[in-house]
């Protein structure tokens, strides 16, 4: 490994955009299918991996929802969540805020069983390895708004354990404005909010997320760059954008990583950070997103540190926890930045030696 890669892999960071249902590794998917007597359309884990060649978001979602069928018992949700958090800890993720979309499961698994299992796994991972976790309940945007309201009411028994509300699924033809009343109600109940926007949808969807829904974060947000006034608004308000570059390549949002707008986002002063989305499907957990972006885009060390710092400040941690994690990052930078590599990357890079 290069010095820069070693630095990235050891650097404290937060993961704010990852879907628990999308973290099932192929061998685990087949183990869960056997446990629950679910027949999969693939003959082996290797055949499943071979199907991870997507044309667009919908072609991914078709496989994604097929894979969700293997999660039936509370133990399944516990095992999948715990496995992801253990893997994230290995990438030096100090805080993980994970999405869960219960609407895809409650036709076969009681909501209480799902919620308790996921929250138990988050607690146990914190005890076992120190990673801090938070649960974001995600709504499917291809369903009617009344279904979102029903989900919101159903999760209230766990209100104090839920850090926020998200929304995912196919953007077209489901603009953020379709859920205006729902997001108003989430805010009224004191819940933080985020929504996927500007991945396959246009800049207008990002604008609606900001101006109509008044979300706290935006997941993806790539398309915003086509609207300079919107870019200025995002920069002024420092609304976090949780970007998933390898996912964007795999889903044909961009042709290759070198074309990704990440550098332009940083240059525009946007509050952008890196995340993995659905790592087994795209072949890249969070460290690989950092490493591959650094290589493809030639990111200097100061921008790598900025991305990690943004991930921590954009989290929904308590102020005390956030301060501790930022201090941990600054100590790491001071003690570990590879100075020669940093100087080669940029004359203004941070160097603690």
Which of helix, strand or coil describes residue 116? Answer: helix
Query: In the numeric block, which tokens belong to residue 29?
Result: 């998917």
Report d(CA 92, CA 114) in Å as an integer.
27
Q: Which residues are catalytic?
A: 199
166 and 219 in contact (C-beta within 8 Å)? yes
Sheet containing 272-274: order of strands: 13-15, 93-100, 132-140, 162-168, 192-197, 217-220, 241-243, 272-274
DSSP secondary structure string for all residues of 232-261: HHHHHHT--EEE-HHHHHHTTSSSSGGG-T
195 and 170 in contact (C-beta within 8 Å)? no
Strands 241-243 and 93-100: unpaired
343 and 349 in contact (C-beta within 8 Å)? yes
Q: Which of 259, 256, 265 is nearest to 226 (CA)?
A: 265
Q: Write down how long the chain is.
A: 353
Q: Where do we find the tokens 């101006």?
A: 211
Question: Around Cβ 229, how many Cβ atoms within 10 Å?
Answer: 9
Checking 303-307 for CB contacts under 8 A at 24+ apart, the result is 303/263, 303/266, 304/4, 304/7, 304/8, 304/11, 305/11, 305/329, 305/333, 305/337, 305/350, 306/266, 307/266, 307/272, 307/273, 307/274
């Amino acid at each position: 490994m290069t010095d820069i890669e070693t630095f990235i892999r050891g650097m404290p960071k937060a993961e704010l955009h990852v879907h628990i249902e999308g973290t099932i590794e192929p061998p685990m998917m087949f183990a869960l299918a056997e446990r629950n007597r679910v027949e999969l359309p693939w003959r082996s884990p290797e055949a499943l991996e071979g199907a991870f060649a997507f044309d667009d978001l919908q072609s991914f979602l078709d496989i994604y929802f097929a894979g969700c069928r293997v999660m039936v018992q509370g133990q399944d949700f516990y095992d999948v969540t715990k496995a992801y958090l253990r893997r994230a800890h290995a990438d030096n993720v100090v805080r993980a805020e994970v999405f869960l979309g219960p609407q895809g499961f409650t036709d076969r698994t009681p909501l209480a069983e799902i919620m308790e299992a996921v929250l138990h796994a988050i607690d146990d991972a914190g005890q076992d390895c120190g990673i801090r976790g938070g649960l974001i309940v995600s709504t499917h945007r291809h369903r009617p708004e009344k279904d979102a309201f029903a989900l919101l009411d159903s999760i209230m028994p766990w209100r104090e354990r839920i850090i926020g509300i998200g929304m995912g699924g196919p953007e077209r033809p489901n603009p953020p404005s379709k859920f205006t009343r729902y997001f108003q109600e989430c805010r009224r109940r004191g819940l933080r909010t985020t929504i996927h926007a500007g991945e396959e949808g246009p800049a207008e969807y990002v604008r609606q997320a900001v101006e109509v829904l008044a979300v706290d974060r935006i997941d993806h947000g790539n398309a915003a760059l086509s609207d300079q006034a919107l870019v200025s608004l995002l920069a002024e308000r420092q609304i976090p954008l949780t970007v998933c570059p390898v996912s964007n390549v795999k889903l044909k949002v961009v042709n290759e990583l070198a074309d990704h707008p990440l550098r332009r986002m940083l240059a525009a002063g946007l509050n952008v950070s890196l995340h993995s989305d659905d790592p087994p499907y795209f072949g890249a957990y969070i460290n690989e997103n950092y490493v591959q972006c650094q290589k493809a885009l030639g990111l200097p060390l100061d921008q790598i540190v900025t991305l990690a710092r943004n991930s921590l400040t954009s989290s929904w941690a308590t102020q005390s926890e956030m301060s501790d994690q930022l201090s941990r990052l600054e100590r790491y930078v001071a003690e570990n930045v590879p100075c020669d590599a940093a100087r080669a990357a940029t004359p203004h890079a941070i160097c603690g030696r």
